[in-house]
């Protein structure tokens, strides 16, 4: 029996390969983040982790991912898929759930290096985990969130079939911003003409479903 069967999980789209985080890939991801993820005058994340990058070089970033990996449990899990294009790590796609066996709900979040944005890759990687969740894990609902002014993220959500599900005020840099919650029910998922391929699920499915 493999001590960490998630290492064998792979999702493939027409352009991308998504694998759960590993240490070598995380160090590539840090380099991508250091090159820039968003306009410095804006903060698109609930937790302003990019503000710490210049001072710690990515230490807190990899510590966070190590911590999430260590706490994975059937009742509460998050998988951070490293997104690769032409063999290079270019961003991150998160998929997580609590009490998945009873609720059949997942949450997603993602980011891309700035130089890879605007080419449809963000849409493609989100479709990958939505297809994985709905078609391979049996999820019924997918939830996401974005700032009210994050037009790129909200456009992706809209075209995939998400609907508005309320909002909450948060202040990642000390000023109030509106965090918009979004919900996608499986029948409303606007699918592309292609399907992902999945490898290694049989070896790890017992870690994330019950």
Closest CA to 36 of 108, 105, 114: 114
Calculate what percentage of the chain has a pLDDT beyond 70.
Answer: 82
Number of domains in the chain: 1
> 63 or 43: which carries more pLDDT confidence?
63
CATH classification of the domain holding 129: 3.40.630.30
Least confident interval from 97-101, 112-116, 152-156, 190-194: 152-156
Across the range 159-171, mean pLDDT stands at 78
pLDDT bin (cut points 50, 70, 90) of residue 54 is confident
Residue 173 has pLDDT above 60, yes or no: no
Residue 48 has pLDDT above 80, yes or no: no
Residue 130 has pLDDT above 90, yes or no: yes
State how far the Cα of 45 lies from the Cα of 82, in Å rounded to an integer. Answer: 18
The total of other beta-carbon atoms located within 10 Å of residue 14's CB is: 10
The pTM is what?
0.90
The DSSP bridge partners found for residue 83 are 18, 91
Residue 141 has pLDDT above 60, yes or no: yes
What does the pLDDT read at residue 38? 63
Contacts with 73 (C-beta within 8 Å, 6 or more apart), sequence order:
none
What does the pLDDT read at residue 39? 64
Contacts with 144 (C-beta within 8 Å, 6 or more apart), sequence order:
107, 108, 109, 157, 162, 181, 182, 184
Question: pLDDT tens across 187-209, in order?
Answer: 999 999 999 999 999 999 999 98
* Domain carrying residue 176: 5-208
State how far the Cα of 47 lies from the Cα of 109, in Å rounded to an integer. Answer: 12
What does the pLDDT read at residue 139? 97
State how far the Cα of 144 lies from the Cα of 77, in Å rounded to an integer. Answer: 16
């Amino acid at each position: 029996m493999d001590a960490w069967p998630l290492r064998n999980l792979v999702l493939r789209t027409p352009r991308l390969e998504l694998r759960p985080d590993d240490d070598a890939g995380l160090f590539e991801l840090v380099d991508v983040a250091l090159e820039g993820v968003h306009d410095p005058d804006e903060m698109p994340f609930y937790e302003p982790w990019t503000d710490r990058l210049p001072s710690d070089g990515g230490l807190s970033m990899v510590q966070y991912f190590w911590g999430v990996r260590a706490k994975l449990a059937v009742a509460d899990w998050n998988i951070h898929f490293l997104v690769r294009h032409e063999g290079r790590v270019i961003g991150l796609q998160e998929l997580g759930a609590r009490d998945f066996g009873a609720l059949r709900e997942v949450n997603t979040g993602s980011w891309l290096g700035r130089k890879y944005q605007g080419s449809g890759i963000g849409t493609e990687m989100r479709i990958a985990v939505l297809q994985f969740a709905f078609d391979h894990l049996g999820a019924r609902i997918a939830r996401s969130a974005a700032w009210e002014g994050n037009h790129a993220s909200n456009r992706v959500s809209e075209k995939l079939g998400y609907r508005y599900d309320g909002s909450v005020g948060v202040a990642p840099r000390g000023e109030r911003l509106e965090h918009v919650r979004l919900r996608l029910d499986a029948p409303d998922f606007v699918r592309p003409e292609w399907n992902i391929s999945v490898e290694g699920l049989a070896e790890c499915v017992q870690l994330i479903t019950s």
